[in-house]
Structure 1
Amino acid sequence: MICVLGGTQDSREIIRSIADSNYPVMASVATAYGRQLIDDERVMVNDHTLDCQGMIDWFGECGISMVIDATHPYARDVSTNAIQACAALSIPYLRYEREEVPLPDYARLHTVETAAEAARLSAGLGEVIFLTTGSRSLGVFRQEPLLAAKRIIARVLPDPAVIAECFRLGFTPRDVVAMQGPFSRELNIQLFREYRTQVIVTKNSGTVGGSDTKLKAAMDLELPIVVIDRPKVIYPCIVHSVEDVLRFIGQRRQSDGIYHRTPKN
């Protein structure tokens, strides 16, 4: 049984491709919303967050013989836990990671390593900060004293739990943009103008994550951009295409006990 750690658009493509190739596949995502997006009766889905020991237990219970880590490029803890769990169980681990978007030569673009650095830097660049960094780091921005008097806009997934977390952190409804991306350059421009944005904070999530259109929109409006770099993780094995994922599975299937599922008539 192959396990895909997902929650991203490209992870769903990988899951479909594995199932279409008649390999038995399960998925693990972090939220009920992520489970709904898979929507494939061939795939059993876990939607509970697992730490390293939780992964070891779940992989063992489900007879997992290979793990494909297709989580978000910034999900460092999940990847680290998966690497350790696979090592503990002596099962193959493969990291699929979408390519980064090359950063443009733009004088108002700043790169930082952490959300905390982004929060401090953005405070000195404008009064209205538009966050396109997802929900995980919202608390860092809300707790930064330098941003106390600034208006912070959070663009997040339209997931009830995520929206509830925004309100818990003190965001008001007028400052929460709950939409499913990725977004076109034109829509980004419209949103940035609507909220009178003065600073964009984002991650380099790749083209699939809409980084290219966010950067272009911000540059069109001549806005300062703060980009949080991807976390540094040493992956034992990494690929950047669905084709390479399937090739890896094919090479391993005999030695690791992964066999094609017999299609139903």
Structure 2
Amino acid sequence: MNADVYDSLMCRHHNGRIWLVGGTQESATLARMIAQEQWPCTVSVTTEAATALYPSAPLLRVRVGKLDAIELAQFLQAESISVILDASHPYAVEVSKLAIAAACQYQIPYLRYERPRLDLISRADHPNFSDQGRENSQTYICLDSFDTLLRSEILTGQRVLLTVGYRTLLLFQPWQDKCTLFARILPSVPALEAALAAGFTPDRLIALRPPISLDLERSLWQQWQISLVVTKASGVAGGEDVKRIVASELGVPVVVIDRPAIEYPQQTSDVATAVQFCRQHLTPSKL
């Protein structure tokens, strides 16, 4: 489907829809606001479980499953998409790149809604940190990638809690005999299968869906005698603020894998701005 075909399509369909790239709590909030405005919207998610996040509304529908470039072209046409609001997870790089490419190719207005990020307490320029840093309850170390972490010796001999998502657990399989690894995963069959395939035994896994309370987070670290935590820069929605508090209380260093660098055409962390973007670009007949 080329741009001319898409433009022709949109001329015939005056009730263009929003494509809300979903799967996050923020996308659920946006979906509720869009439903209140009674704008047509199709939310895309990758798992059936994620559909429970979204309200039941006459003009809101949810599509389950990953999209590749060919499927996306068909999806845009079938759904008469006229606006793209990307509220996917900060680490869901592929779907964001796909949405940006489609927006450019078919000249569809695109906005990235990025969950607000917390300022780092401290930043490490070197992949290792000193013994003094280990004892500093405020140590919060930012690394640019999992590769940087795994090429260092940070994990060696530690009791490590991984809160990084099940898709990355396989990267840590070579470290199973160099440190004691624990992981918190989502309560789903794919997550459990991925963790077991990465060499985690059942006694070193806990399946919980965020948000995690402060008391539960603290208790888990103490129960497993965690000496180091590895997480993502996922903001408040990902429980990063809770981890900081527990790290400060218990004196446990936290290694943060920074968000992937993507050049978004335009971006906001303000929900009202995202809603206004949809209002601005939807066809007048829906306003």
TM (normalized to structure 1)?
0.90
| Within-5 A mapping of 1:148-167 | 148-167=177-196
CA distance in 2, matches of 1:139, 1:253: 43
Of the structure 1 ranges 27-36 and 99-108, higher mean CA displacement relative to structure 2 is found in: 99-108
**How big is the shift at 1:185?**
2.5
Query: 1:195: which partner in 2?
Result: 224
| Within-5 A mapping of 1:202-217 | 202-217=231-246
Q: Do the aligned residues in 2 keep the contact of 1:94 with 1:238 (CA within 8 Å)?
A: yes
Secondary structure in 2 aligned to 1:73? coil
CA distance in 1, matches of 2:50, 2:153: 30
Letter in 2 for 1:11: S
Say which of 180, 196, 201 aligns to 1:172: 201
Of the structure 1 ranges 38-47 and 79-88, higher mean CA displacement relative to structure 2 is found in: 38-47
Letter in 2 for 1:140: L
Give the gaps of 5 or more residues in structure 2. 1-16, 123-135
Q: Do the aligned residues in 2 keep the contact of 1:3 with 1:68 (CA within 8 Å)?
A: yes
| Within-5 A mapping of 1:70-109 | 70-105=87-122, 108-109=139-140
Note if 1:3 corresponds to 2:30.
no
Letter in 2 for 1:64: I
CA distance in 2, matches of 1:168, 1:203: 22
**How big is the shift at 1:258?**
6.8
Secondary structure in 1 aligned to 2:236? coil
Secondary structure in 1 aligned to 2:206? strand
Q: Do the aligned residues in 1 keep the contact of 2:90 with 2:114 (CA within 8 Å)?
A: yes
CA distance in 2, matches of 1:120, 1:212: 27
For 1:225-262, what per-residue CA distance to the aligned partner results, in whole angstroms no more than 9, with x for missing partners?
Answer: 111011100000111121111111111124xx6724xx
Query: 1:52: which partner in 2?
Result: 69
Give the gaps of 5 or more residues in structure 1. 261-265
Note if 1:113 corresponds to 2:144.
yes
CA distance in 2, matches of 1:118, 1:231: 15
For 1:169-198, what per-residue CA distance to the aligned partner results, in whole angstroms no more than 9, with x for missing partners?
Answer: 222211111101122322211111111111
Q: Do the aligned residues in 2 keep the contact of 1:23 with 1:258 (CA within 8 Å)?
A: no
**How big is the shift at 1:41?**
4.4
Query: 2:286: which partner in 1?
Result: 259
Query: 2:160: which partner in 1?
Result: 129
Secondary structure in 1 aligned to 2:219? helix
- Compared with structure 1, are the counterparts of its residues 177 and 168 closer, same or farther at alpha carbon in structure 2 (3 Å cutoff)? same
Letter in 1 for 2:203: R
CA distance in 1, matches of 2:261, 2:277: 23
CA distance in 2, matches of 1:23, 1:210: 31
Larger radius of gyration: 2
- Compared with structure 1, are the counterparts of its residues 183 and 243 closer, same or farther at alpha carbon in structure 2 (3 Å cutoff)? same
CA distance in 2, matches of 1:147, 1:172: 10
Say which of 37, 40, 50 aligns to 1:21: 37
**How big is the shift at 1:33?**
1.0
Q: Do the aligned residues in 1 keep the contact of 2:156 with 2:178 (CA within 8 Å)?
A: no
CA distance in 1, matches of 2:255, 2:18: 38
CA distance in 2, matches of 1:245, 1:93: 10
Letter in 1 for 2:244: L
Q: Do the aligned residues in 1 keep the contact of 2:155 with 2:179 (CA within 8 Å)?
A: no
Query: 2:47: which partner in 1?
Result: 31
CA distance in 1, matches of 2:155, 2:278: 49
CA distance in 2, matches of 1:176, 1:132: 11
CA distance in 1, matches of 2:207, 2:285: 40
Aligned residues: 256
CA distance in 2, matches of 1:134, 1:20: 32
Note if 1:233 corresponds to 2:250.
no
- Compared with structure 1, are the counterparts of its residues 162 and 194 closer, same or farther at alpha carbon in structure 2 (3 Å cutoff)? same
Q: Do the aligned residues in 1 keep the contact of 2:112 with 2:267 (CA within 8 Å)?
A: yes
Query: 1:263: which partner in 2?
Result: none
